[in-house]
Chains A and B, each alone.
Chain A
Amino acid sequence: MAVLATEPQAEAPVRAGADQPTIQTITVRQALNDAMREEMRRDPTVMIIGCDVGVRGNPFGVTKGLLEEFGEKRVRDAPISEPAFTGAGLGAAAMGLRPIVEILYSDWITLAMDQIVNMAAKIRYMFGGKINVPLVVRAPFGAGGGNAAQHSQSFEAWFNHIPGLKVVAPATPYDVKGMLKTAIRDDNPVIFFEHKRAYALEGDVPSTDYTVPFGEAIVRRPGTDVTIVAYSMMALKAQAAAEQLAADGIDCEVIDLRSLLPLDYETVVRSLRKTNRIVVVQEANLRGGMAGDIVAELIDRGFDLLDAPPVRVGGLNVPMPYNMGLETKVIPNEQKIIDAVRRVLA
């Protein structure tokens, strides 16, 4: 729960030097690839299964080169059978592997819902704690780019509803790499949401092995007037909105949750104690989303801290349209966050 404006500085940049850690600037795409490669080198039970993860290195290039290094038993190009390869990931997890299942676009996780919700999330509990489920389901999500209604959705709230799962949605290369490693080493099923529009985003990452724990939010920008809680792409937009608001003398504290289940309410409530006003931002359409759940929990935990009704920002409650102009209207942007902050201050 470090209060930091930027990435943790514990791994201070030390250029060159034989055994000294170095800092590289890499993309989110590379961070994901590095995390999987390093974990697969470290642990021979880690494997990947999904559509086009092997020869093609996944359509976004995220798994490029892994088939060549680890072979086709550990990097499996699966048939287009989400229920079966997700369920197979679960079966393999139960029998000693640490599989990473990739759902090419997270929208299609619906096909695998039974295996995730009724099986992976349940079998430890309903079998009396006898089975470990070290399973990661990587789910590229998020809108933008004209992919329309079946390739743009954000379903994280559905999984937040399911005891037995963990749900994370990191955005920066540092967090993405550290949290994917945590996910792979975790003995529980983890739904790992990575934002498709963030793959090319760059950031600094140390060359040494590190992990980022689940359940720890990070303060991206300290402030005193309003708390903005967000995650994934929206955390970046919230930071940009906060900078614009700063020019008008409004000092926002921006919290990037990173991990949704478990969720670090301590950091959020600590911030609320200072600002007494809160805006919660999600990219998913607003109804039934994380933002509503977070606001409800904050009312339970700290109603008296609130000087104004909390404000939620989310996508419009419509299927994602194809047309760029319409699409832009649906996805939350900096202006909508700015408007929400002004509303909570009004």
Chain B
Amino acid sequence: MSETISEDLRARFPCHTPLAAPAELDGTQQLEMFHRMNLIREFDTKVRDLWMSNKIYGLAHAYVGAEAIAVGACTALEPEDCITSTHRGHGHTIAKGADVKKMMAELFGKYEGYNRGKGGSMHIADVEHGMLGATGIVGSGMPLAVGAAMAADVLKNGRVALCFHGDGGTNQGVWHESVNMAAAWKLPAIFLIENNQIAIATELGQVSNEPELHKRAVGYGIPGVLVDGFNPFAVYEAVSTAAARARAGDGPTLIEARFVRLLGHFVADDQWYRDMAEFEPFWALDPIRRMRVYFEHSRLADEQELDVLAHRAAAEIAEAIRYAEEDCTEPPVESLYEDIYAAGEVIA
């Protein structure tokens, strides 16, 4: 219908599906998804600039191009559901409802940040919204989600735990163990592979004989679903179905959201190891651009209204940067020993 993609692109990305909002998402919700995606895009675009100008320390990995996955998935979850994340966690955190000011403060290493300046980009966490933290060790969020699902199973609170992880994580041993355990006990978990088909510079096909990762579900006796990772509504629908299944006590689902990494592994990665001319065409599938086209064609919003939303996101991020730079403070040295142990206990 509204979207057209080249034959060449379709051949190289056969899981492409046209955008079509499911009936249960009203216009306001769809536009809220668009807003969240813009927030992520703007946040990570600015983080890259800030990193380049030495205002942000340490490592930072951009979620640019993957916005459809985090936003599609988190829109399908309830506020009390929880998620685990990866080293590329800004998108997950924003999608789950975090305050971008506290996030930016954290990236600036400030005491007012979500992690009191002790986590930074790679460990960004917003526990109040059920975002159980980014982790720098690939695959390590898998059992964390299984445990969160196990807690829901014991406490019978109806919660679901969703584990975002990359294709790289699927080759960790704990990946298998976690999916197996959740399947054996029919735990309310969802395993969502963000398959960008490359782990830093190692292509998935080099290290996995079967790159159709969703097919692994067969080995665990659970549903395995492949979705267009550039399509927020497709991700939403897959996660909605998986969440309903999990809440009904029928166990986990493996979702492979396939897409293409559009930027480098981390913010300063120039990707010398990749022929970028080969990947440039995939910007045609940029989920934010697709959302705009979709809204214009479905007459939900015109170009001007969409620009207003994009500007709103830009203003929120600008304010977050101002807040982090001007209103926030450096952590006091005494805070070094804070929060190693519970309830203020210090073991020096």
Contact = CB atoms under 8 A, between A and B. Distances in A.
A94 B342 contact: no
B135 interface: yes
Interface in B107-132: 113-119, 123, 125, 127-128, 132
Given A73-B153, A91-B161, A188-B341, A130 B125 contact: yes
Interface in B81-117: 82, 84, 113-117
Interface string A68-97: 000001101011010111111111111111
Contact of A84 (B152, B153, B178, B342): B178
A101 to B, nearest CB: 10
Given A73-B154, A81-B181, A95-B152, A90 B147 contact: yes
Contacts of B340: 124-125, 163-164
Q: Count chain B CB atoms within 10 A of each CB in A45, A125, A262 and give the residue with the most.
A: A125
Contacts of A93: 147
Contacts of A87: 140, 142-144, 146-147, 174, 178
Contacts of B184: 79
A125 B337 CA distance: 9
A35 B9 CA distance: 63
B137 interface: yes
A8 to B, nearest CB: 23
B150 interface: yes
Contacts of A96: 151, 155
B127 A131 contact: yes
Interface in B5-54: none
B115 A128 contact: yes
Contact of B150 (A86, A92, A118, A164): A92
B180 interface: yes
Contacts of B127: 127, 130-131
Contact of A124 (B142, B180, B185, B342): B342
B132 to A, nearest CB: 6
Contacts of A78: 181
A107 interface: no
Shortest Cβ-Cβ A-B pairs, 7 listed: A91-B147, A87-B143, A84-B177, A129-B339, A81-B177, A187-B342, A88-B147
Interface of A: 45, 47, 49, 73-74, 76, 78-79, 81, 83-97, 99, 114-115, 118-119, 123-133, 163-164, 166, 186-188, 261-262
8 contacts: A79-B180, A86-B143, A87-B143, A96-B155, A130-B115, A164-B340, A166-B347, A186-B342
